[in-house]
Amino acid sequence: MRFLLLLSALGLCWAQYSPHTQDGRTSMVHLFEWRWVDIAKECERYLGPKGFGGVQVSPPNENIVVHNPSRPWWERYQPISYKICTRSGNEDEFRDMVTRCNNVGVRIYVDAVVNHMCGAGGGEGTSSTCGSYYNAHKEDFPAVPYSGWDFNDGKCHTSNGEVQNYNDANQVRNCRVTGLLDLALEKDYVRTKVADYLNHLIDIGVAGFRLDAAKHMWPGDIKAFLNKLHNLNTKWFSAGSKPFIYQEVIDLGGEAISSSEYFGNGRVTEFKYGAKLGTVIRKWNGEKMAYLKNWGEGWGLMPSDRALVFIDNHDNQRGHGAGGASILTFWDARLYKMGVGFMLAHPYGFTRVMSSYRWDRNFQNGKSKNSWSQPRNEKGLKRSSASSHFTVLNLRIIMSVYFFRALSTTLQTGLPAGTYCDVISGDKIDGNCTGIKIQVSGDGRAHFSISNSAEDPFIAIHAESKL
Ligand code: QV4
Ligand code: CA
């Protein structure tokens, strides 16, 4: 008992690195800007049956309503209160979504915007998604409540109160990122308000949180409000389960702040993943797919069990945030699918697939863009490759097609003899392949032919796609 007392006395707690997905479910999908009623249906109709582990949802808390430009996606990153009340739906709809998704084995992860409230230029009034009054100029948010005392102003010493130099760790944490009113998270009052918001969501049944702008919060302040969190709802999670935490820290090297400062709280977004893989698949700087044999920590990425990985995210697919020109998005559809296919087949990190909307280049909201067939099927790949050693085979297939030459060759698959369904061109349904069949012979070798004009320029087979 004394040992336990010591731990609690020291304020230590076991941070949570596991996403609490059901067995064999190894990936989440970001349903950016989707409504709660639609996510609930998608869980039951598709994501549950197809083995997705969970969904990252857009911030569910009340945000400012921006009129110029009209209702941009980014208004949801300007909180007005912690009421579950946004364009995606109200609290009842949110509760129904969490219940229905959990009931089919799909977890809900919430994008938690707790570093700040709305922009300093947000004005005052009730232009908010739940009609709550606020006054940005006075830093007055009565629906929480937060007042001027709860913001960092006195601790920021830049000319305009904003983050100006990312090589100064103090201003990155204590000043306003893009002019957003910066909360004083060293105050127990503010930590408690944040924890109350997150606990409300935990009690509803969510499995964890993306901590938005984590780089702009001190790791110790994050730890302090995480220590106030409840364990997950035992209706769907085993007793003592802690919320899964993944922190948005953009660290491409060369700044004062590094991802490792946040490992004590939970996982961290690994932005180097998409940036480096994009460079390889685009064949920039003399990079080759064959070099991916030691992909992961061998490429300077963070430890696999601390990494949350993705090809693109809601920011860099639309020119916001970081990652650079090498980031693959649906604008480069064929290369993008190769990147997503590789990511889902490789055992490194916990993977997140992007679903989104587009109108124009800075696309706002409209029709969902990404097709579902590959990510759905590639998830089986990850499961099998996670268990077996990742073979160079998949790399060689992708590389050859990548050089825009047709591929026709015999390769060692490392798989038992039999007929396998290619999970990119189709499915294994009722003991048959709807797409390409691959015959693996007794010595494990198989012949592969891929046209260099194929819309999906790669083949993927795995242990579970065997007839
Ligand atoms: C403007 C001026 C400011 C001025 C302010 C006055 O630029 O100088 O002080 O008005 O109000 C929007 C506008 C931005 C505006 C700001 C505040 O684009 O011009 O400032 O609102 O009014 C998203 C968008 C931002 C958007 C923000 C809030 O990307 O453009 O800003 O939402 O609506 C860094 C961080 C990283 C961050 C990334 C974008 O380290 O954490 O920048 N990524 C996360 C989210 C991202 C979100 C935020 C953080 C903020 O992924 O989507 O920014 O919550 O790398
Ligand atoms: Ca801050």
Q: Which tens digit of pLDDT belongs to each residue from 24-38? A: 899 999 999 999 999
Q: What is the pTM of this model?
A: 0.91
At 377 the pLDDT is 56
Closest ligand to the CA of 69: 1
Catalytic residue among 33, 150, 221, 248: 248
User: Residue whose CA is closest, atom 19 of ligand 1?
Assistant: 178
pLDDT band at 125 (very low <50, low <70, confident <90, very high): very high
Nearest atom (ligand 1) to Cα of 313: 51
The answer to whether residue 8 scores a pLDDT higher than 60 is no
pLDDT band at 14 (very low <50, low <70, confident <90, very high): low
Return the closest-CA partner of residue 222 out of 181, 266, 257: 266
Question: Which position has the higher pLDDT, 382 or 95?
Answer: 95
Ligand 1 centroid from CA 319, angstroms: 12
The answer to whether residue 199 scores a pLDDT higher than 80 is yes
Q: CA 423, 428, 434, 436 torsion: positive or negative?
A: positive
Q: Are 377 and 337 spatial neighbours (Cβ–Cβ below 8 Å)?
A: no
Mean pLDDT of 208-226: 98
3 state SS of 160: coil
Q: How far is CA 42 from the centre of its chain?
A: 18
**C-alpha span between 75 and 313 (Å, rounded):** 17
Percentage of the chain beyond pLDDT 90 is 73
Question: Mean pLDDT: which of 38-47, 285-294, 322-331, 373-382 is highest?
Answer: 38-47
Mean pLDDT of 224-230: 98
At 457 the pLDDT is 78
Ligand 2 centroid from CA 264, angstroms: 18
At 401 the pLDDT is 39
Residue 68 token pair: 């110029």
Closest ligand to the CA of 120: 1
Catalytic residue among 42, 93, 182, 212: 212
Nearest atom (ligand 1) to Cα of 172: 40
Percentage of the chain beyond pLDDT 70 is 86
Residue 448 token pair: 């592969």
Q: Which residues line ligand 1 (CB under 6 A)?
A: 74-75, 77-78, 113, 119-122, 162, 177-180, 212-213, 215, 248, 250, 315, 320-322
**C-alpha span between 285 and 109 (Å, rounded):** 36
- How many alpha carbons lie under 13 Å from residue 32 in its C-beta half-sphere? 25
Residue 280 token pair: 């390889």
Mean pLDDT of 425-435: 92
Residue 388 token pair: 């077996």
Ligand 2 centroid from CA 159, angstroms: 17
Question: Which position has the higher pLDDT, 357 or 182?
Answer: 182
User: Residue whose CA is closest, atom 38 of ligand 1?
Assistant: 321
How much is the mean pLDDT over the chain?
88
Active site residue 153: no
Backbone Cα Rg of the chain:
23
At 395 the pLDDT is 31
Return the closest-CA partner of residue 306 out of 249, 346, 350: 350
User: Residue whose CA is closest, atom 14 of ligand 1?
Assistant: 178
Mean pLDDT of 137-160: 97
At 384 the pLDDT is 39
Distances (CA, A) of 323 to 18, 195, 453: 25, 31, 29
Nearest atom (ligand 1) to Cα of 160: 9
At 104 the pLDDT is 98
At 438 the pLDDT is 93
User: Residue whose CA is closest, atom 26 of ligand 1?
Assistant: 74
Ligand 2 centroid from CA 112, angstroms: 14
User: Residue whose CA is closest, atom 4 of ligand 1?
Assistant: 179
Closest ligand to the CA of 216: 2
pLDDT band at 12 (very low <50, low <70, confident <90, very high): very low
Ligand 1 centroid from CA 178, angstroms: 4
Could you report the per-residue pLDDT of 371-400, keeping only the tens digit for each?
Answer: 454 555 555 444 433 322 233 233 323 333
The answer to whether residue 229 scores a pLDDT higher than 70 is yes
φ/ψ of residue 154, rounded to 5: -65, -20
pLDDT band at 360 (very low <50, low <70, confident <90, very high): low
Distances (CA, A) of 105 to 43, 296, 373, 467: 9, 28, 20, 26
Burial level of 315, CB count in 10 A (0-12/13-18/19+)? Answer: middle
Question: Which position has the higher pLDDT, 307 or 460?
Answer: 307
Closest ligand to the CA of 115: 2
Task: Provide DSSP, 190-217.
Answer: HHHHHHHHHHHHHHHT--EEEETTGGGS
Neighbouring-strand partners of residue 6 = none
Mean pLDDT of 170-192: 98
φ/ψ of residue 14, rounded to 5: -80, 105
At 375 the pLDDT is 58
Ligand 1 centroid from CA 155, angstroms: 20
In the block, tokens 């009690």 appear at: 203
User: Residue whose CA is closest, atom 3 of ligand 1?
Assistant: 179
Distances (CA, A) of 96 to 30, 36, 37: 19, 8, 8
Residue 212 token pair: 């938005």
Angle at CA of residue 133, ends 131 and 135, nearest 5°: 140
What's the helix, strand, coil split of the chain in %, to 5?
35, 20, 45
**C-alpha span between 425 and 460 (Å, rounded):** 9
Angle at CA of residue 259, ends 258 and 265, nearest 5°: 130
Active site residue 305: no
